[in-house]
Structure 1
Amino acid sequence: MIKWMTNYARMYRFGVAPWERYGKAAAESIASLLDREEAERSRPLGRALDLGCGRGQFTPELARRGWDAVGVDYVPAAIEAASRKGGEGVAYVVGDVTDLSSDLGSFDFFLDIGCFQGFDAEGQRAEGRGATALANPGATLLMLAFGPTRLRSRIGGVSQAEVEAAFPDWALLDVQPAETAGLGWPMNRTAPQWYRLRHHP
């Protein structure tokens, strides 16, 4: 868990963030998934937590859509870059998603795009426990994760069973293949999936 976090921080330090390309390439498909979240809710939408938000690629979009959005990331430089973007209804916090603070408050929606997949089983369960502790009844979680491959130690990846094991108090509502355009090799060979879960306390 710590080794992956260290590599992640180092990549930001050198200005390398290949995962940000995916958000641009798959913007349409991500938008449709967020549309679905909104369609099932009345307004105001509530609070959303962007887990592993990086430099704030998706957090401002959540706010634009009407969520009271909070982004959390382990790397201070990433949070500083995100904060410089500004935006109404957005807050950023330096924090470890495997040790989420109760000071963050409670949330109705969680977004994890490529964060959970980078942890070992212990880290995955820790993220699951933290999200569960902050989840309001009926909260949903939308997660993008690569499938497990031979390159897992370098680029991460998880199975459906591992997702379910980390979120035992959540019902798996949907699993669907994610767009691979824009990922490039070898990430486009990882069979990425979108997982949607609902908290049932």
Structure 2
Amino acid sequence: MYRLGYTLAYRFGVTPWETHATATRAGVEALVDREVAERPHPPGRALDLGCGRGLHTAVLAKKGWEAVGVDAVPQAVDAASRRGIPGATFAVGDVTALEGAGLGTFDFFLDVGCFQGLSPGQRTAEGRGVSALANPGATLLMLEFQATRMRSVVGGVTRAELEAAFAGWQVLSVEPADTTKLGWPLTRTAPQWYRLRRAGRA
């Protein structure tokens, strides 16, 4: 059902999350810089989960990652591919079925609001798929709205829900995200950046 909703949104040009992605780009760049600083150069392979038209995938490629964007909406993936971003490739794929997508393995995963739009079962499936594709030392960076009173309007997850879906991962940090440019009602969602690493891995 979520794929149909996003497909229709792209078809009719109703994609407010792309405006939000532009507003959060500076924050994404700063956090990706931190990931790069902790790794050798080049830093490795990165997967942008629910990439849309590739705004954040482009950031990953710019910072030196071999970047792959995956999204379930063909129109979005086609638009991202047409951008011709050096160092980035795109694939039509379901974030809840990553294990069979043939994408390879990754050192870094980026999820900017994709996870919170899934049902509990789909979230578990995303966590399982990301775990299957994670190289030793892989990290995951997620921007998620919290379960505030606006949850019924814009979505949101609790830390417990996130940890349940990524049971094999350790939460390294939780940091508040800047909501200044997001506008109402997103300014009332208390978004957080979660940084995770597979438990038991270097």
TM-score (norm 1): 0.94
* TM-superposed deviation, 1:154: 3.8
Amino acid at match of 1:12: Y
Q: Aligned to 1:92, which of 71, 76, 90? A: 90
* TM-superposed deviation, 1:91: 0.8
Instruction: Please give the per-residue CA displacement for 1:51-110, whole angstroms capped at 9, x wherever unaligned.
Output: 000011111111111100000001000001101101221110000000113511000000
Per mean C-alpha deviation after superposition, the further-off stretch among 151-160 and 29-38 is 151-160
- When residues 166 and 85 of structure 1 are mapped into structure 2, their CA distance, relative to the original with a 3 A threshold, is same
Amino acid at match of 1:95: G
Contact kept, 8 Å, 1:98 with 1:130, in 2: the verdict is yes
**How many correspondences in the alignment?**
199
1:65 alignment counterpart:
63
1:16 alignment counterpart:
14
Q: Could you list the runs of 5+ residues in structure 2 that have no partner in the other structure? A: none
Matches within 5 A, 1:13-52: 13-52=11-50
Percent of counterpart pairs with the same letter?
59
SS in 1 for 2:132: helix
Contact kept, 8 Å, 1:139 with 1:199, in 2: the verdict is yes
Quote the Cα distance in structure 1 between the aligned partners of 2:172 and 2:26.
21
Q: Aligned to 1:77, which of 68, 75, 82? A: 75
Contact kept, 8 Å, 2:28 with 2:56, in 1: the verdict is no
RMSD across aligned C-alpha pairs, in angstroms? 1.3
Quote the Cα distance in structure 1 between the aligned partners of 2:149 and 2:188.
10
Instruction: Please give the per-residue CA displacement for 1:90-136, whole angstroms capped at 9, x wherever unaligned.
Output: 11000000011351100000000010000111011000000000000
Quote the Cα distance in structure 2 between the aligned partners of 1:136 and 1:154.
36
- When residues 198 and 79 of structure 1 are mapped into structure 2, their CA distance, relative to the original with a 3 A threshold, is same
Task: Say yes or no: does 1:169 pair with 2:168.
Answer: yes
SS in 1 for 2:52: coil
2:158 alignment counterpart:
159
